[in-house]
């Protein structure tokens, strides 16, 4: 019944909603995640779910798919009240989800991942040939050109994301939920994804789209539901709504902060003179980054731009000693230094916030407080525990300053939303009072409100004399904040210039210019 042709799909547009949630409440120990929230999803529509971090978007999705059980409210699926006790049940009912963090097995092949749990069988054994054929045809439909028999782990995150979507598409869902599907995709991959989404929508599939990219939301969605602090703000028809209205609904206050940051960054004209805080020469690592020269001065924000896989993350890891460089020199405060482990870098007052929050940052089963003081405690050594009073003072101070929710320092880190986790991780590094802060995609997958707060923080830190290396896929953000701009491509630094009237188009040209030269 899910493989509808285009014509009846049009007819069902005004028909019964696929899903109708009303009065749904969910709470975790110490956190009221959702309070009486409703969501109506109609067939053949792309429905954007909007809200800041911690607004309850992910929770609402997990309540629908049965990952969390709801405390109150009703969920009507296909006209019948349902309560799913797990993703398997909701999947059987035609609800397919691609989560923000990819939940696939990197040690299996692409095809195995796509058909996991639904493998075609012959004579009781898995029919590998049929499996690869079926996976291949779905990938072809999505225009993803990869070998179904290759290991998932051998592909970059962006491709893994598309595989996750291909998996969901293959289930023949009536409702497809895409939670932040575009956060790690490049522009043309987003275009490709949108094509697929439109095809599915025209087939009558209801699609939930969660994203923090406003332009994308306005481009693809038909309707929007906005949440704030676990409560419903309202449902809007996209065509009748402006971006400003949406933003105000989401954060409930004016959006002057971003403009203020820009003014502040402009005033912060840095004296790129004297001895640099850090100077690297010919720094590189085989298979990761080719020889990079870079100078970082005190109180300077260096923006690193580049496409996914351009070597921007790898460069950050070398500067922090997360990977050891195999050639090149690092000078810190005019003294030659070796950075072979993160610990050595931390001892030199360098901090690094990884782009992979979940696998390289969050300690899920420890509290907010323990997560915050981890780096400081590690550098003090286990024999000198942070005094309880100092710890409490630091933790409350940063929960306040970064507006972290929940405010309870004993709440477990894994119960926090992505944006709040990111803020805790930033606090972890700020507590160590770094002189050089390396931020790799600090605003990825988090909402405008938190994004603005983090950008403001970077601008403030730079004014206080902290040097920042700021890496982001969002060029606007990089340009807004940085004093100097480094452009990476194909694991090399291809350009460096001071950020005077550089526009997004200029940066794109730098990246693209190289493409033409190569071709």
DSSP codes, 455-489: HHHHHHHHHTT-EEEEE-S-HHHHHHH-SEEEEEE
Q: State which residue, 123 or 382, has the beta carbon closest to another protein.
A: 382
Closest approach of Cβ 422 to another protein, in Å? 13
Closest approach of Cβ 190 to another protein, in Å? 29
Phi, then psi, of 301 in degrees rounded to 5? -105, 115
- Return d(Cα 41, Cα 82) in angstroms, integer: 15
Closest approach of Cβ 410 to another protein, in Å? 13
- Return d(Cα 157, Cα 355) in angstroms, integer: 12
Closest approach of Cβ 87 to another protein, in Å? 11
Q: Return the H-helix or E-strand segment holding 345.
A: helix 342-347
Query: Token digits for 73?
Result: 């409210």
* Secondary structure E strands in 101-259: 121-122, 125-126, 175-179, 206-210, 223-228, 231-237
Q: State which residue, 159 or 362, has the beta carbon closest to another protein.
A: 362
Closest approach of Cβ 158 to another protein, in Å? 21
Site residues (CB under 8 A) for another protein?
Answer: 83, 85-86, 88-89, 91-92, 118, 171, 320, 322, 341-343, 346, 352, 354, 359-366, 370, 374-375, 377-386, 428
Q: State which residue, 204 or 299, has the beta carbon closest to another protein.
A: 204
Q: State which residue, 297 or 320, has the beta carbon closest to another protein.
A: 320
Strand order in the sheet with 467-471: 350-353, 436-440, 467-471, 301-306, 484-489, 492-498
Q: State which residue, 428 or 491, has the beta carbon closest to another protein.
A: 428
Q: State which residue, 147 or 203, has the beta carbon closest to another protein.
A: 203
Closest approach of Cβ 165 to another protein, in Å? 17
Closest approach of Cβ 348 to another protein, in Å? 11
- β-pair type (289-296, 278-285): antiparallel
Site of tokens 């796509």: 114
Site of tokens 């092949």: 109
Q: State which residue, 52 or 174, has the beta carbon closest to another protein.
A: 174
DSSP codes, 288-333: TEEEEEEEE-TT-EEEEEE-TTSSHHHHHHHHHTSS--SEEEEEET
Contact 230, 424 (CB under 8 A): no
Cβ–Cβ contacts within 10 Å for residue 195, how many? 12
Closest approach of Cβ 384 to another protein, in Å? 8
Q: State which residue, 377 or 443, has the beta carbon closest to another protein.
A: 377
């Amino acid at each position: 019944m899910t493989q509808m042709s285009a014509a009846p799909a049009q007819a069902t547009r005004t028909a019964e909603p696929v899903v109708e949630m009303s009065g749904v409440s969910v709470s975790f120990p110490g956190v009221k995640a959702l309070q009486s929230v409703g969501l109506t999803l109609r067939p053949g529509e792309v429905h954007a779910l909007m809200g800041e971090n911690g607004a309850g978007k992910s929770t609402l999705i997990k309540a629908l798919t049965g990952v969390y059980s709801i405390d109150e409210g009703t969920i009507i699926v296909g006209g019948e009240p349902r309560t799913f006790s797990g993703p398997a049940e909701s999947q059987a009912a035609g609800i397919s989800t691609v989560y923000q963090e990819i939940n696939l097995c990197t040690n299996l092949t692409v095809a195995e991942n796509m058909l996991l749990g639904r493998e075609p069988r012959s004579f009781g054994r898995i029919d590998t040939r049929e499996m690869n054929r079926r996976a291949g045809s779905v990938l072809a439909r999505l225009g993803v050109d990869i070998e179904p028999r290759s290991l998932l782990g051998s592909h970059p995150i962006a491709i893994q994301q598309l595989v996750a979507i291909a998996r969901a598409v293959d289930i023949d869902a009536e409702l497809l939920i895409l939670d932040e599907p575009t956060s790690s995709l490049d522009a043309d991959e987003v275009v490709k994804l949108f094509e697929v989404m439109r095809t599915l929508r025209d087939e009558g599939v209801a699609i939930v789209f969660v994203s923090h990219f406003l332009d994308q939301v306005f481009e693809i969605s038909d309707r929007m539901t906005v949440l704030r602090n676990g409560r419903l703000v309202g449902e809007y028809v996209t065509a009748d709504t402006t971006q400003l209205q949406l933003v105000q609904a989401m954060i409930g206050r004016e959006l002057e902060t971003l403009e203020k940051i820009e003014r502040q960054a402009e005033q912060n004209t840095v004296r790129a003179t004297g001895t640099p805080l850090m100077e690297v020469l010919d720094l590189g690592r085989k298979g990761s980054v080719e020889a990079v020269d870079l100078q970082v001065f005190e109180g300077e924000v260096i923006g690193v731009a580049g496409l996914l896989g351009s070597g921007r993350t790898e460069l950050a890891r070398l500067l922090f000693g997360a990977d050891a460089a195999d050639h090149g020199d690092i000078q810190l405060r005019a003294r030659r230094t070796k950075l072979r482990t993160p610990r050595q870098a931390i001892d030199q007052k360098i901090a690094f916030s990884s782009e992979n929050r979940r696998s390289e940052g969050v300690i899920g089963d420890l509290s907010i407080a323990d997560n915050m003081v981890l780096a400081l405690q590690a550098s003090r050594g286990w024999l000198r525990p942070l005094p309880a009073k100092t710890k409490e003072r630091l933790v409350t101070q940063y929960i306040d300053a970064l507006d972290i929710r929940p405010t309870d320092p004993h709440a477990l880190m894994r119960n926090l939303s992505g944006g709040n986790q990111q803020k805790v991780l930033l606090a972890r590094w700020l507590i160590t009072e770094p002189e050089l802060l390396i931020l790799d995609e600090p605003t990825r997958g988090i909402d405008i409100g938190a994004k603005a707060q983090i950008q403001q923080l970077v601008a403030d830190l730079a004014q206080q004399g902290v040097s920042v290396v700021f890496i982001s896929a969002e060029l606007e953000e990089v340009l807004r904040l940085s004093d100097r701009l480094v452009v990476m491509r194909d694991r090399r630094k291809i350009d460096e210039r001071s950020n005077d009237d550089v526009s997004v188009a200029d940066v794109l040209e730098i990246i693209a210019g190289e493409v033409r030269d190569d071709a």
